Amino acid sequence: MSQPETTLWELEPHTEAKHIILRNYLRAWFPIMGQYNSRILFLDGYSGPGQYDNGEDGSPIIAIKEAMQYLDSCDKRISNKPEIAEIVMIFIEENTERAIHLQERIDSMEIHKKINVQVVNSNFEDTANDILQELEKSKAQLAPAFLFVDPFGYNLSFELIQKLMDNPKCEVFINFMYEFINRFIRRIGQEAVMTKLFGNEDWKQLDLDCQPEERRELIHGLYQQQLIDNTAKYVRSFEMKGKRNSTKYFLFYGTNHKKGLLKMKDAMWSVDTGGTYTFSDATNPLQGVLFGNEPNYEYLKDLLLLEFKGKTATIEEIEDYVLCSTPFRTTHIKLPILKPMEQNQELRILTDRKRRWTYPAGTIIEIF
């Protein structure tokens, strides 16, 4: 959507779907990161007012509530493990009226004492650069962080994302505004901002005189490859479509940790159960109509055969491949795929096991 002119605006279905992904991921992220770190950071680069026209929570309030839920569970749990000392939450909003509304909304909440909330009335680029400069001066690293970068437009610095992701425990969730990028990528006067967005001038080499689907894949593919080459080992995207079923934007997630990838895929599957990693306002599952009813197991089987046919592999190697190189979840492998394949004598188990049709840790499988 274009930049709203009002302080609050209507919550659109695709935005609600985006918030479901964010909420479900943070519900896993806070406990995982809090288990191993005394201080963690959630940064929302384009936070908005924290509320929509009908009172629905915006991303800052969603994040605060998930952090409080995690800390409340920690308070109730008896454990000898070190407790997290602080969750820093930085919400950046350039529009003054929206920043004030967000601060008022936060002030009305009873915030857990371990949550340090900062509302910054500025822009994402300046604030993030200030943070990086302070870290450089003090020769410190960014705390383990989840960066939610959700702009209305596409004036976004790839170099800045790259610098933030140089910190080893940093993850990023970016709204790549494809609808606007596709519209303006060839417009005279947009060269500098496109080079800033993609991080180099490779976008100029794209042959975009093609069908819309191919054009979308070229633009999406270039940005994804840039993220993989320069920011994160594992990158996954989710396509959001509008009421006319045309692509509005892609959500790109980048991490260097497999557990993060696992949890983000779980969060994305909670919105699209068919595994196409797509949500469309034209077929809104939040209103009871699923875009995809179930995973395409035949496609997953084809991918496994393409990778492992004629080979021997452990169950761990197969699960790792599915996690890192396919859209599917590791829970989609055993009963839906391996069991029928074994029954049809398309594979053979080379290790002992207690029960048939099970594939415990260490299982070695030969796929014909």
pTM: 0.92
Domain ranges of the chain: 13-287, 297-367
| Per-residue tokens: 253 | 């997630």
For 158-209, the pLDDT digits (tens) are 999 999 999 889 999 999 999 999 999 999 999 999 999 999 999 999 999 9
State the SS3 of 227-275.
HHHHCCCEEEEEEEECCCCCEEEEEEEEECCHHHHHHHHHHHHCCCCCC
In order along the chain (368 residues), what is the average pLDDT of each group of 10 residues?
85 92 96 93 98 97 97 82 88 98 98 97 98 93 95 96 93 97 96 98 96 95 96 93 87 96 91 69 38 75 96 98 92 96 97 95 97
- Rounded Cα distance between 10 and 333, Å, is 40
β-bridge partners, 278: 239
> How many other β-carbons are positioned within 10 Å of the β-carbon of residue 291?
18
Torsion sign over Cα 56, 59, 60, 63: positive
CATH topology assigned to domain 297-367: Arc Repressor Mutant, subunit A (1.10.10)
Per DSSP, 158 falls in state H
pLDDT at 311: 97
β-bridge partners, 51: 57
Residue 38 contacts residue 84 (beta carbons within 8 Å): yes
CATH topology assigned to domain 13-287: Rossmann fold (3.40.50)
Provide the Cα torsion 281, 283, 284, 288; round to 10°. Answer: 170
For 253-267, the pLDDT digits (tens) are 999 999 999 999 999
Q: What is the average pLDDT value for the chain, to the nearest integer?
A: 92
Q: How far apart are the first and last CA of the chain?
A: 49
